[in-house]
Structure 1
Amino acid sequence: MEDADLAFLLTDLVKMLQSMKVGTERIREIVLSLRNFSRLDEAEFKAVDIHEGIENTLVILRHRFKVRAERPEIQVVKDYGPLPLVECYAGQLNQVFMNILSNAIDAFEEANQGQSFEALVAEPNTLWIHTAVVGQDRVQITIADNGSGITAIAQAHLFNPFFTTKAIGKGTGLGLSISYQIVTEKHGGQLSCHSTPGQGAKFVIEIPIRQATPEQSQRQPSSSAP
């Protein structure tokens, strides 16, 4: 018993079991979020909670928000308005959230180069997520950041296939193009970007609360790229 340090083992065992419990709960949360994020069993339009989709996306990206040696934790400020259930392809819409949020984090990492940890503590990387009903039949999801912003020239091509502002090998240039197609063509909505270099970027998603019937869709003009 002395050689094995039984007293220490008994104390450490409780801590180890507690860590295993916390780890298991985190794994369960991630698995559930992945299942809800993908919505693989929902190939048709369904009325869903948009906030749940955003939260599932944030859980999956949580590891990228955490504090690192070179920067403090990325802050996420949520301002959720009261939304009804929205008819959409939930898995595809979640992919739009993922693409926009991932791009914002990538932009932070690029903008942070050359800045000290102390400077980033004073002005931390921050994401703002706002949701609201606009008009009588649409919901709006706004995702903004305080990164380095996007030039006017880049904004003009932002949703074009294979266009990217990232370094070679760090981006395919398809994420925002696919997101634009999902929002405009699949959901009859709008996706726009508003940015000033040095002042961050804001992406605005608007989609109908209820999807049009096939007869109504035929009467609506098709969306064109910005």
Structure 2
Amino acid sequence: MKNIPNNSILIVDDIPTNIKVLFEILNQAGFRVSVAKNGKSALEKVQEILPNLILLDVMMPGIDGFETCRRLKHNPKTKDIPVIFMTALSETVDKVKGLQIGAVDYITKPIEYEEVLARINVHLELRRTQLKLVQEEKMSSLGQLVAGIAHEINNPVNFVSGNLIHAQKYIEDLLKLLHLYEIHTPHPIPEIQAYSTQIELDFLKQDLPQLLSSMTMGTERVENIVRSLRLFSRLDETALQLVQLHDGIDSTLIILGSRIKATSIRPNINVVKEYGDLPLVECYAGKLNQVFMNLLSNAIDAIDELIDQVEANTNKQSPTIWIRTVVTSDEKSILIEIADNGVGMPQEVQQRMFEQFFTTKPLGKGTGLGLAIAHEIIIEKHGGTLEVNSSPGEGTRFVITIPINCTPVDC
């Protein structure tokens, strides 16, 4: 079975020989391995490293494996980490007890090389698939929600927009008629003169056309938003399409508009767009919108995180996201850069950021799948590249290249 590299595993066992055997097996298979020699140590270490899977010995002094597992499953931060028990116990009642507590599987001692790797890979793959499906379902639900909102807004906006054209013509006609009355009736009766003064007729004549113009601009703005929502909502479309990538980026910015606006602790995030003259690109439009959503959301998170830090009080830079697009020199690909002046990342985080489940965000704010899925969409679905350049406190820059004509096997 194919091993899943770069996943972290915590071994919990009080017998050094067992630890040595497992460490060598897993290390050679490409896993990152941590060790705890008892239940208490495991409960402390798991909070720090949040492994992707735990191999847990049943029979240990102090807090045994069953109690350790029970505490792990009662902790919101660790409850979803798969636990595989390791035991020499063969009684069915013991295995049932472990599974009822929350373990996903058992490995019987003495340890068998192929069995260990097979069971670990199965449960890591299952967890990856489960979380990926949850992530994709969230994006699909978002697309459906956005499409529904766009549909509901579209009809009344079209009604207002269509009637504004007639209202503007009617008001122009009435103002012309009023002007004729003023020319041919220079001395109106006192009642008309008093009412004209009451309603500030001179101001009304000047302001009403401007008011209509503002209303027209407002409806045009809403129509553009609806158009952007419809573009973004193509998440479920699976066919290759010729699209303008700028439309996908702009529609994503519309969705994230509320997060870009000023908060109680920071001003508006300035979005600087340097768009090149791009041709239509053959791609999975909805999937690329998902990539833009993940990268732009991360950029906003990075800016907010920097501002939250104490040292950010001395940061005089305006919060900014830069988006640049250009055709590559060989005219075969599109280059997209998304950069921010947020908190940045150390080198060790950059080396792991595209791994499944890896996240530096606090509990409840990240699954560790957003960038991994973005990487998969760009690399595997489009045959492109996704690179990152970042330094702590210096912001982050993602660089995407997408072939103008999709060529991978699965295209």
1:217, CA displacement in angstroms?
3.3
Q: Distance in 2 between matches of 1:40 and 1:113?
A: 33
Could you tell me which of 310, 317, 321 is aligned with 1:123? 317
Residue 133 of structure 1 pairs with residue 327 of structure 2: yes
Q: 1:156 to 1:34 in 2, by over 3 A?
A: same
Matches of 1:109 and 1:41 in 2, distance apart?
31
Unpaired segments ≥5 residues, structure 1:
1-6, 219-226
Give the structure 1 partner of residue 302 of structure 2: 107
Deviation at 1:38? Answer: 2.4
1:47 aligns with 2:249: no
The offset of 1:52, in angstroms, is 0.8
Q: Contact 1:34–1:56 at 8 Å: present in 2 too?
A: yes
Query: Does residue 88 of structure 1 match 2:283?
Result: yes
Which stretch shifts more, 129-138 or 17-26? 17-26
State whether structure 2 residue 259 is matched by structure 1 residue 67: no
Preserved contact between residue 36 and residue 53 of structure 1 (Cα < 8 Å): yes
| Cα displacement (A) at 1:27 | 5.4
- The answer for the alignment partner of 2:409 in structure 1 is 217
Q: Distance in 1 between matches of 2:336 and 2:371?
A: 15
Which digits, 9 at most, give the CA deviation of each residue in 1:118-160, with x for residues without a partner? 866x421100000011122000100000111111000001001
Q: Output the CA distance in 2 between the equivalents of 1:168 and 1:41.
A: 28
Map 1:1-226 → 2, pairs under 5 A:
28-39=223-234, 42-114=237-309, 122-134=316-328, 135-212=330-407, 217=409
Unaligned runs of 5+ in 2: 1-198
Larger Rg: 2
Identity fraction in percent: 52
1:85-139 deviations in Å (ceiling 9; x for gaps): 000000110110010000111111111115699866x421100000011122000
CA contact (8 A) 1:70 1:117 kept: no
SS at match of 2:409: helix
TM-score between both structures, scaled by the size of structure 2: 0.45
Amino acid at match of 1:180: H
SS of equivalent residue, structure 1 residue 63? helix
Kept in 1: contact 2:306–2:393 (CA 8 A): no
Deviation string, structure 1 residues 150-199 (Cα, Å, up to 9, x no partner): 11000001001111111122111110001001001110111111111111
Q: Is the 8 A contact 2:235 2:290 kept in 1?
A: no
CA separation in 2, counterparts of 1:152 and 1:194? 9
Instruction: Report which of the two has the higher share of helix.
Output: 2
Q: Distance in 1 between matches of 2:235 and 2:252?
A: 15
Q: How many residues were matched structurally?
A: 205
Residues 72, 117 of structure 1: 8 Å contact kept: no
Q: CA deviation at 1:57?
A: 0.6
Secondary structure of 2:300's partner?
A: helix
- Tell me, what secondary structure is at the counterpart of 1:217? coil
Deviation of the 1:30 alpha carbon: 3.8
Quote the offset at 1:33 in angstroms: 1.9
CA separation of 1:41 and 1:195: change in aligned 2, threshold 3 A: closer
TM-score for the superposition, normalised by structure 1: 0.79
Q: Aligned in 2, Cα 1:104/1:41: closer, same or farther, shift over 3 Å?
A: closer
Q: Which amino acid aligns with 1:37?
A: F
